[in-house]
Amino acid sequence: MLCRAGQIRRCAASLSQTVSKVAASRQKHTLPDLTYDYGALEPYISAEIMQLHHSKHHATYVNNLNVTEEKYQEALAKGDVTTQVALQPALKFNGGGHINHTIFWTNLSPNGGGEPQGELMEAIKRDFGSFQKMKEKMSAITVAVQGSGWGWLGFDKESGRLRTAACANQDPLQGTTGLIPLLGIDVWEHAYYLQYKNVRPDYVKAIWSVINWENVSERLQMAKK
């Protein structure tokens, strides 16, 4: 019996060391580079907003996500379920912030605006009636977000249709609703307040002028696979 207990302790110690090694070798999340300059989206989004939004706010989500994941790995190694549960909100908030912003930057382009083409446009017409109706619906739910959050155009894989949705705070669209994110509009105040003050509708109206429809189309193609 003592021999068996010793084997169990050695096995547990070995497992703990393995988890620790995996945690140590885990590649940390990094802040993605933008494919355009901070001032490239002016006059619709100012360079000051872009610089603060990307290099400060998004960077904070990345840093906090890495710290939280390290703590979570330590809790896993120790079998500390209480700490694992306690860390869930931080994982959701910072992980969602990183996921959402990584999508957001690619959804924008200095050469954006106008209307989508091809299959994306056909899907929008099928599911919303027209491109203008989709814009109006998505704009309305985005402006109506209470406090901070996001407005989304997503793909419902089960039905094969496009849907709009709003998520609070940094809740990630897919993890919250099951929809695959195609286009997101950030309506946290740090995304627009320095330029648009408290007039969120003006910001939402302006951002359509820099939407990268090629990126949205690519995301739709990937979502269908």
Which positions make up the binding site for Mn(2+)? 53, 101, 186, 190
Helix (H, G, I), strand (E, B) or coil at 165: strand
Integer CA distances (angstroms), 38 to 28, 58, 193, in order: 25, 14, 16
Closest CA to 112 of 223, 213, 5, 8: 213
Question: Whats the size of the chain, residue-wise?
Answer: 225
Q: Identify the sign of the CA torsion 54, 58, 59, 62.
A: negative
Core vs surface per residue 171-205: b (16+ CB within 10 A) or e: bbbbeebebbbbbbbbbbeebbeebbeeebeebbe
Contact 169, 149 (CB under 8 A): yes
The DSSP output letter for 167 is E
Integer CA distances (angstroms), 191 to 12, 48, 86, 104, 139, in order: 47, 10, 29, 11, 15
In the annotated binding site, the residues are 53, 101, 186, 190
**What are the backbone angles phi and psi of residue 64, rounded to the nearest 5°?**
-70, -35
